Amino acid sequence: MAKKKPITPNSQITNILRRLWLYSRERRERLRLDDSTCWTCKRKGSKAKGREVAVEVHHIDPVKTARIIEVIRRELLVSPDKLMTLCKEDHKAEHGAGE
């Protein structure tokens, strides 16, 4: 029986991108600038029991997740035959020579 090729599922990539966004400095700064207050209804975000108001940070220009995943697959999550194992020093040297 042939061994399955290791492929990272899109759901895992999406999950990691979401976590990157949730902990990003840009998102945190937007919340700070707006004092965690909704632009539309002006309600302030709160975690107080009985008065919970969840606020989120919305991208004005839509995020094209499918295109981001496509770039990640093309540039980062490449086939194992396009990868090689190097020690830290040789890896640094390889990038210094090529990029």
Q: How many domains does the chain have?
A: 1
Confirm whether 32 is domain-assigned: yes
CB 98 within 8 A of CB 50: no
Write out pLDDT tens, residues 19-47: 999 999 999 999 999 999 999 999 999 99
Q: Is residue 59 in some structural domain?
A: yes
Task: Name the pLDDT band for 98 (thresholds 50, 70, 90).
Answer: low
Whether 25 maps to a domain, the answer reads yes
For 26, the 3-state DSSP assignment is helix
Beta carbons of 57 and 30 less than 8 angstroms apart: yes
Q: pLDDT digits over 38-92, tens only?
A: 999 999 999 999 999 999 999 999 999 999 999 999 999 999 999 999 999 999 9
Q: Is residue 95 part of a domain?
A: no
What's the whole-model pTM score?
Answer: 0.76
Nearest to 56 by CA among 30, 89, 76, 25: 30
58's tokens = 């919305």
Domain that holds residue 65: 10-77
Q: Is the pLDDT of residue 5 over 90?
A: no
What letter would DSSP give residue 80? G
| Measured CA angle at 17 (ends 24, 80), to 5 deg | 130
